[in-house]
Structure 1
Amino acid sequence: MSENAPEEKLSYEQAREQLVEVVRQLESGHVPLSESMALWERGEKLAAQCQAWLDGAKAKIDAARSSADA
């Protein structure tokens, strides 16, 4: 899937991989300020999507545990 695909269309693994690449580029220090700002914004969206995937997985686990305890 494209690097510019909407975050909600990415799997957790794809979003995480793209987030790692964004961080690598930002940490390199070789990106102009305007591009750094765009990368930062993309990274924020990717991080939020990764967190949503993790929250969803946790909710499923919690629900499974609750029904197993009942």
Structure 2
Amino acid sequence: MGGLFRAPKPAIVAPPPAPAPAAETPTPIQAQQAAETESRARSRRGLEGTIATSGRGVLAPLPAAPRKSLLGE
């Protein structure tokens, strides 16, 4: 029976590729400029995302509705 069934051949595993060269670290000036640019973009998005309120404002009381004096009115 050994001739009917054969064990599968082992798969050949290729060695992992060489690591990519490390990227250059930015200079402190470039890092500061990138941070300022990101901060400006974030604040611009924040202004667009604010909720516009009416002239009454958020904390002003609602106008009083006329009260009913009798049932059924």
TM-score range, shorter chain: 0.3 to 0.5
Pick the structure with greater CA Rg: 2
Higher relative contact order structure (alpha carbons within 8 Å, sequence separation ≥ 6):
1
TM-score (norm 2): 0.37
More helix by share: 1
